[in-house]
Amino acid sequence: MTNDKTANGLHAGTRDYRYCTVEDTGRIRIVTLNRPDVMNALHSEASHELERVWDDFAVRDDLWVGIVTGAGDRAFSAGNDLKVQAAGKRGPRPRSGFGGLTCRFEMHKPVIAAVNGIAMGGGFEMALACDLIVASENAVFALPEPRVGMIAGAGGVHRLPRMIPLKQALGMILTGRRVSAKEGRDLGFVNEVVAPGEALAAAQRWAQMILECSPMSVRASKEAVYRGLDEPSLEKAVTTVYPAHQANLDSQDYIEGPKAFAEKRKPNWQNR
């Protein structure tokens, strides 16, 4: 049964939020970090709000792909709101991590980062926690935490070396240097670079391509990729059937895909 409402009976996309906006369009949820006056930097309260947004997305059967972006064209997110932290108002981080994303390891639905402008510190870590990154030409990525006496502890020091060559990752992590969208693509953590102002549209285009596929197959594939990378050997990864894979094998979509192919029509995915 489709769980298309939240506990209070309202679609998450129709609620009012303080630190983000949420738009559900078809099967896609678009979450926009909405603190442009501080380059969409986030504090504890904002991260807790975003945790609720992504919790709702995770359980909604009618939503298959998520997109996160930032308000305005200056920044995706400048990361942790250091002014709030300096004022001694730093609160606890939610269980799902910075921005409600960086520690969300059981999210099998794909999430795309549409990076417009600066993505630094926790902002970059949020993007790295997504499955795809689409960046505008003016996007800038960095993990500058050592410059302010910190480390990129929301996953940056762990995810980046798993995505790009170790020496290149350390070159960014140990210096805090800024990397352009083009260099990010060359290094391998950016999927596509587009003209300024086009990141969200490009992310929606990627989302539409994902929506052509079985949602259960997509989630099974995502789970297998991430969990397989943590296995001690390739043999162990290949021979393990992970839970989402088994659910896909048992699903109506597993039958519908080959049937639609044989009948020369588009499949009607049931997501069950």
- Among all residues, which ones are annotated catalytic? 125, 145
What whole-number distance in Å separates Cα of residue 104 and Cα of residue 96? Answer: 5
What whole-number distance in Å separates Cα of residue 107 and Cα of residue 59? Answer: 10
Cα atoms in the 13 Å half-sphere on the side-chain side of 269: 16
8 Å CB contact between 115 and 93: no
Burial (CB count within 10 angstroms: exposed 0-12, middle 13-18, buried 19+), residue 235: exposed
Cα atoms in the 13 Å half-sphere on the side-chain side of 186: 6
Three-state SS at 37 = helix
Burial (CB count within 10 angstroms: exposed 0-12, middle 13-18, buried 19+), residue 237: middle
Helices (H), ranges, the chain? 44-59, 82-86, 122-129, 156-163, 166-173, 181-187, 199-211, 215-229, 234-239, 243-249, 253-262
